[in-house]
Amino acid sequence: MSPQPGTLYVVATPMGNLQDMTPRAVEVLGQVDLVAAEDTRHSGRLLAHFGVRARLLSLHEHNEDERVDALMTRLQSGECIALISDAGTPLISDPGFRVVRAAHRVGIRVVPIPGVSSPVAALSVSGLPTDRFCFEGFLSGRSGPRRRALEGLREEPRTLVLLESSHRIEAALQDMVDVFGPARQAVVARELTKTFETVRSLPLGELLAWLQADSNQRRGEFVLVIEGAPAVDADQAEQDRVLALLLAELPVKKAAAVAASILGAPRNALYQRALALREH
């Protein structure tokens, strides 16, 4: 195929195993006028492996804003540009969003050249529900903001997919145990497609213990797939809403008693639920 003039190609590249590079990706990268790459040195080695000689331009989180206008000018003049990241599918927790958004705004054709993506790869082998999922990317590196983000996801019924780094994986898992509880099922997918690929499925508490017991399992790049929260029926949701309002002003026992009067539900059951809500 010959790239169409004035087209932006978003090209997926391997995460680790070079055999995951698609023939279409090699063909496009070899024919475009310019390859915008997150790290030109890393991508230069990748392209050389496939015998691709291409003109490279760096495009990363620190210079993307200043590159956008120049790239739009080149595309509007008829050049073809390929956008790649260091690994996997561009824009998925990688640079490129501003360029793609600008291309749409000025009427540039944007074409995906699909391939591997670590969140989808991990989800596919997780054994957790895949019909609906929520991708959250990287959470904060600081425990406070990370825990607040997890609190906001605690009742999310969809399967959660997150990314994490080696130096934060243990602390992140500890926060997940504290917020979601040790029994919530989860999967650690480490170094996907690489030599030391590991996929481990356990309840969160056991996953944390397994990780802490083996320092080798704390190395590399991680995708975490976490079971969604159990569905809450309408009655339970209303009970929680009333209890939350009352707990803001009253002790647990009194809040449960008032809620029982309002809702006509058993006081003891409401007391146990109020205790659970207060703990969180």
**Model confidence pLDDT, tens digit, residues 32-83:** 999 999 999 999 999 999 999 999 999 999 999 999 999 999 999 999 999 9
Q: Which whole number is the average pLDDT over 205-220?
A: 95
Q: Phi/psi of residue 161, each to 5°? A: -125, 125
Q: List pLDDT tens digits, range 135-169.
A: 999 999 999 999 999 999 998 999 999 999 999 99
Instruction: Say if residue 233's pLDDT is above 70.
Output: no
Q: Phi/psi of residue 88, each to 5°? A: 80, -155
One-letter amino acid for residue 152 of the chain: G
Q: Which tokens in the block code for residue 95?
A: 């640079």
| Cβ within 8 Å of residue 57, ≥6 positions away | 34, 35, 36, 37, 40, 67
Q: Which whole number is the average pLDDT over 22-28?
A: 97
Instruction: Say if residue 172's pLDDT is above 90.
Output: yes
Mean pLDDT estimate for the chain:
94
Q: List pLDDT tens digits, range 3-19.
A: 789 999 999 999 999 99
How far apart CA 212 and CA 188 sit, in angstroms, is: 13
Query: What's the CATH code, domain 7-116?
Result: 3.40.1010.10
Task: Check if the beta carbon of residue 18 is closer than 8 Å to that of residue 87.
Answer: no
Residue found by looking up tokens 């497609």 in the block: 193
- Please choose, from the candidates 172, 119, 179, 118, the residue with its C-alpha nearest in 3D space to the C-alpha of residue 141: 172
| Adjacency order of strands within the sheet including 198-203 | 133-138, 159-165, 221-226, 185-190, 198-203
Q: List pLDDT tens digits, range 97-119.
A: 999 999 999 999 999 999 999 99
Q: CATH classification of 119-226, choosing from 3.30.950.10, 2.40.50.140, 3.40.50.150, 3.40.630.10?
A: 3.30.950.10
Instruction: Say if residue 231's pLDDT is above 90.
Output: no
DSSP 75-107: HHTT--EEEE-SSBSTTSSSS-HHHHHHHHHTT
Instruction: Say if residue 1's pLDDT is above 70.
Output: no
- The ranges assigned to domains in the chain are 7-116, 119-226, 234-279
Task: Please return the burial class of 140, using the count of CB atoms within 10 Å of its CB with bins 0-12, 13-18 and 19+.
Answer: middle
Q: What is the pLDDT of residue 264?
A: 86
Q: Which whole number is the average pLDDT over 221-242?
A: 86
**What's the N-to-C CA distance of the chain in angstroms?**
57
Question: Do the domains 7-116 and 119-226 sit in the same CATH topology, yes or no?
Answer: no
